Structure 1
Amino acid sequence: MTKTIHLKDMAKADISANKTDGSGGLHRMSYRDVAMHKVMLQDIIRTEAYEKSINAVVKPQHTVLDFGCGSAVLSMFAARAGAAKVIAVDRSPFIKNAQNIALANGFKNIDFYHDDHETLRLDEKVDVIVSEWMGHCLFYEAMLEPLLTVRDRFLAEGGVMIPAQLSLHVGLVNDEDVLEDLHFLQDKPYDLDFSPIAHVPFQQSDLVALDAESLLDSIADMGSLNMHTITKSDRPRVFTATLSPSEKTSIYALCGWFSAQLSPGIQFGTGPKDIPTHWDQILFPLPTPFTVNPSRSLTITLSPLTEQVGKEQFWSWSISDGEHTVSVNELQLQHEASVDVPQGKL
């Protein structure tokens, strides 16, 4: 289950979810590890929603493709729902464990393929593609483009995608505990000067699990992805929204998350106000506090700059009230900070 950090109840709280003792450590685990799959299977909100959606969509004549099948739990749901055939695909060697799990449960109509979106070869189209492809704030795991490749290659005309639609949301963080956490290196911890790197936390996204009280009530709906119609892109996607802040205050960061509509009437969210899942939110800090006022409309942009599989995730984000703009581009900052350090004594 997600480890929620209650900032209001903690002094000098570390709001980072980058831990290895809970869901925040998912990005550090490997899909070869049972620990990763155990955490996801323990996410009842996610897993039961997928089961309900599969039961609602899959018909006895259907062939179902489970892309990125992991433990094969969604494949087994599809087989149990009566699918004529299930195709389970994963690029991780863990797929052999998934096959053994399926056999241990008596499922013999699931074919397993140790492949990715480029190497997979099928002689047929499928009626349903199901995939739990979403990373934190949707794009953390860079699985969208591979999934769209599989959809374009193998989904039959009129076929169904699960999830059907994903939506991206951004909130305004005005919690001073968040600011205090960002300031940690600037406050000379242990009576030491960390000034060469103290500015970095203000320009670097981070995984967090925030309480609803850490954000203003006003939420920016950044846009939605219709998984049946969205096309592949060679350029970073840019999401933009406007909103009026609910009160006059200073904000210290943006917070991003997603919601998923798996099929009609079946959905879940991953934001601070939602029932916790194994997904965290992503904190997008602002280098300086930004004053917001209900009388001034805000424009917010958010862009995942690297969606390629196997590449480190970078983002850009900005907020503007028409007079003042604050923006951060992690990829640009990374390039500027890159230094070749020779081996040996410096």
Structure 2
Amino acid sequence: MNNCNKKDKVSAVDRMTSKDFQLDSYAHLDIFGHLIKDTVRTNSFKEVIYRNKHLFKGKTVLDIGCGIGLLSLFAAKAGAAKVIAVDCSKAVFYARQIVADNKFNGIIKVIHGRIQDVDLQVSLNSIDIIISDWMGYCLFYQSILDAIIFARDKWLKPGGLIFPDKAKLHISAIEDQFRKNDKINWWRNVHGFNMKAIRKFALCEPRFCSVEADQVVTSSHLLKEIDLNTLTVKDLTFLTPFLIECKRNGHIDGIMTYFNVIFSKSHTKFGFNTAPWSPPTHWMQSIFYFDEPISIQNGQTFFGAFALKPIAGNMDHIDICIEILTGEPLQIVGDIKCTLKRRTLITNTVPTPKKVDKKKKT
């Protein structure tokens, strides 16, 4: 449905219909409203760019995954001489109109397409700064890290800056029986019918939810630290052993991951955290439920491995495999090998731990 006056010139935005949103969910206004209302995320970008106006003044900036162009507007207002905003979503049609409405046409150029395919009409290694909200759920899922790596290697000047450029992914265990019953266990019996097949599938899907701090029952372990100044595509596939210690008696319903982001090129230390004890963000936390709960005691340790692998290099389709065990970690940690199941969005394989001296198979 289109409510524009037929006498007026019909813009690209006016021509968009519900079909566009069905095929391109990132063009939907609710997506951008949700992102912008994430005050931790948006205020972090705004503050770090405005705090570093001396770095942006007179520079050429590339905004990857620009959406409706808010980060580009921040950069232009901070004094950038030229901002190139790129997005493969039709949200760029909104961005172009917003840029014009705010009189930044002479500074911000908006391009529609994948960064790997577009012509920026600039010479190689001529970009001073890359800005991007590249982080995905569980840091990697639906991230655009591959796009950042491509653009960095092709256009960023030697010594050029990336905002943000560092992040750390952490893991810990949680109690979450109520939500697990609501999302997973209810499939055991649906209106008197056995639907355990769906429950099994539901266990393979992560849940992106807000976890309360008092649900976390173990210590945290650093799984992966990335630096976009040196990150390679090969680094996006990894396997990391971990060790966590229980902080109280109780039980574990699943594993939780969270991440923190660092703008290391800021002249003052700056970043934010998506942990349960930090202010909430739209990323929330990523939960991987166990088949059955695990009883725990204060001081008990668990160890295992977390493996992640993009499918066909696509960060929209990744496999995650988690294995957790008890015993003496030094005896077997080098032998842990998580097997990733292809054509599955995200999977977790979590055997009920027993005191063993070598890895047990499910």
With the length of structure 1 as denominator, give the TM-score of the two structures: 0.80
Instruction: Point out which structure has higher relative CO (alpha carbons under 8 A, 6+ apart).
Output: 1
- Is 1:123 matched up with 2:127? no
Q: 1:259 to 1:330 in 2, by over 3 A?
A: same
Tell me which moved more, 47-56 or 193-202.
Answer: 193-202
Structure 2 CA distance, aligned partners of 1:311 and 1:202? 19
Structure 1 CA distance, aligned partners of 2:230 and 2:51? 21
The aligned counterpart of 2:41 is 46
Deviation at 1:82, TM superposition (A): 0.5
Deviation at 1:295, TM superposition (A): 4.7
Q: How do 1:326-345 residues align onto structure 2 when only pairs under 5 Å count?
A: 331-332=341-342, 334=344
- Is 1:247 matched up with 2:209? no
Identity score, percent: 25
RMSD: 2.8
Count of residue correspondences? 308
The aligned counterpart of 1:30 is 25
Residue 172 of structure 1 aligns to which amino acid in structure 2? A
Q: 1:133 to 1:206 in 2, by over 3 A?
A: same
Preserved contact between residue 205 and residue 315 of structure 1 (Cα < 8 Å): no
The aligned counterpart of 1:283 is 287
The aligned counterpart of 1:162 is 163
Structure 2 CA distance, aligned partners of 1:162 and 1:84? 17
Q: How do 1:1-346 residues align onto structure 2 when only pairs under 5 Å count?
A: 30-57=25-52, 58-107=55-104, 108-121=106-119, 122-124=122-124, 125-181=126-182, 182-186=184-188, 188-233=189-234, 236-263=237-264, 264-293=268-297, 295-306=299-310, 308-309=313-314, 311-322=316-327, 331-332=341-342, 334=344
Q: 1:103 to 1:259 in 2, by over 3 A?
A: same
Preserved contact between residue 309 and residue 320 of structure 2 (Cα < 8 Å): yes
Structure 1 CA distance, aligned partners of 2:223 and 2:298? 19
Preserved contact between residue 93 and residue 114 of structure 1 (Cα < 8 Å): yes
Residue 51 of structure 2 aligns to which amino acid in structure 1? A
Deviation at 1:130, TM superposition (A): 0.5
Residue 137 of structure 1 aligns to which amino acid in structure 2? C
Structure 2 CA distance, aligned partners of 1:179 and 1:44? 29
Deviation at 1:321, TM superposition (A): 2.1
With the length of structure 2 as denominator, give the TM-score of the two structures: 0.77
The structure having more radius of gyration, on CA atoms, is 2
Residue 304 of structure 1 aligns to which amino acid in structure 2? L
The aligned counterpart of 2:13 is none
Preserved contact between residue 286 and residue 327 of structure 1 (Cα < 8 Å): no
Contiguous gaps of at least 5 residues in structure 2: 1-22, 348-362
Contiguous gaps of at least 5 residues in structure 1: 1-27, 338-346
**What are the superposed Cα offsets for residues 98-133 of structure 1, whole Å, 9 maximum, x if unpaired?**
011011111121122223132133325111101001
Deviation at 1:276, TM superposition (A): 1.2
Deviation at 1:92, TM superposition (A): 1.5
